[in-house]
Amino acid sequence: MTLKLFNTLSKKKEKFVPVDEKNIRMYVCGPTLYNNPHIGNFRPIVIFDILFRLLRDIYKIENVTYVRNITDIDDKIINTSKNLGISSEELVSKFKKTFSDDLISLNILNPSKEPSATEYIDQMILMISDLISKDFAYEASDHVLFESKKFNDYGKLSKLSPKDIISGARVEVADYKKNPEDFVLWKPSKEGEPYWESPWGKGRPGWHMECSAMSYEILGSNFDIHGGGVDLIFPHHENEIAQSSCFHGEQTAQVWMHNGFVNFSGEKMSKSLGNIKTVNELLNSYSGDVIKYSLLTAHYRQPLEFSDNLLTSSLSILEKWADFQNWDLDSAVGYDNEFMEYLFDDLNTPGCLMRLQQIFNLIKKDPQNKELKGYFVNGLNLFGLNPTITKKELKIDVKYIENMISQRSLAKEAKNFNEADKIRDELQKQGIILEDSPKVTTWKQT
């Protein structure tokens, strides 16, 4: 079976061919923590978590590195912290805690690395200095800017020409630029704002530079997959390609993947429009599995119409599926072939969910079929779904249990079996019994 992924660069589905099968590398742009991330921010997190799980299954856990960054310095962060009268660090710390809790509730695997932008300022300064020395960047009014016209392939990701970019008002207008489409690599900090010392004065990096430096430092100059929302194609990812390619002389990611918007009442969900729904708020009414299932009901490249009706429908399905916890099954059978065909075809999650429902219906007709039950449970596990927690009668801290199971899985992967046993025993003291199979760990309340 061949994994095919849609590459924004080529505008078509392509066979996934790793740069190095023993070193699969993926970078995904994470959240800017100036507020609680909304459901639209979580769509790429859910989608690329599934791709991460699939790549680990195909190429083995130890051969896959997944980097998802945290943007912890940005104009929005600075402005919000000023309005609240707290430091940028306090603001980011506050929302990082909520974000981490939300990830646990949605059963999102920890990425291999989760760097914060401020940890890589030195690397950004070195990268900017190199671009200046190669005459791809210039200093102007205490700023450093990338001269876009010097990169011949500028616009190859978004398929926009400089004329299209300017006429579409997609660039920041500034009189110190040589050309309207030039973008900031380094900017001066105003009085009272966070700053770092640099050859160009006290300031901070441009947003695009942050991801280029982190991806290069951790994954190298030529890695497999770079992902994010469709809104990042231009200018963020376009500018990443330009500055990174001019810095190290190679193509950056081989495959660029972008998910569609989450819409609410027909409009893109965004903080500026005031129509957001945060995961943290939704968790007051629905389990993480219901939210995750809802995000998987449309193909990741298509817009997703989010609504209470969608959540209610997802809850209804998962409550029916929750019966699997009492099954006697053979999870060693692996995965259903049709389920995997959908998944290998550019992560067709709606097709996968449809196939799981078909398998579930077949099991109801043939309750003794352990093979079908194994296919069903293994498919759920690959998506990080556990329908048992959707039942409303459970009066326990689901987030805590999921986090403990996640930590236990990490301990087992690291062959720290003593720690794994301690976690199991601690949960058992609290009336929670873990049940392991080769592909999934489920739990029940005694």
In the chain, what are the domain boundaries? Answer: 4-262, 308-392, 395-446
pLDDT band at 331 (very low <50, low <70, confident <90, very high): low
Q: Residue range 72-93: average pLDDT?
A: 94
Q: What is the pLDDT of residue 389?
A: 65
Q: The dihedral of CA 59, 60, 63, 67: what is its sign?
A: positive
Q: Residue range 204-223: average pLDDT?
A: 96
What are the helix and strand counts (H, E) for the chain? 15, 15
Q: Is the backbone of residue 334 left (phi > 0), alpha (psi -120 to 50) or beta?
A: left
Q: What is the pLDDT of residue 272?
A: 65
Which residue carries 């507020």 as its tokens? 35
Q: What is the percent of the chain where pLDDT is above 90?
A: 72
Residue type (1 letter), 424: R
Q: Residue range 410-427: average pLDDT?
A: 84
Right CATH for 4-262 from 1.10.3720.10, 3.40.50.40, 3.40.50.620, 3.40.50.300: 3.40.50.620
Residue 326 pLDDT > 60? yes
Q: What is the pLDDT of residue 292?
A: 97
pLDDT tens digits for range 238-288: 999 999 999 998 878 999 999 999 998 667 766 666 677 899 889 888 999
Q: What is the pLDDT of residue 433?
A: 83
Residue 394 pLDDT > 60? no
What mean pLDDT is reported for the chain?
90
Class of domain 308-392: mainly alpha
Q: Residue range 229-237: average pLDDT?
A: 96
Q: What angle do CA 305, 307, 308 make, to 5 degrees?
A: 160
Q: What is the pLDDT of residue 100?
A: 93
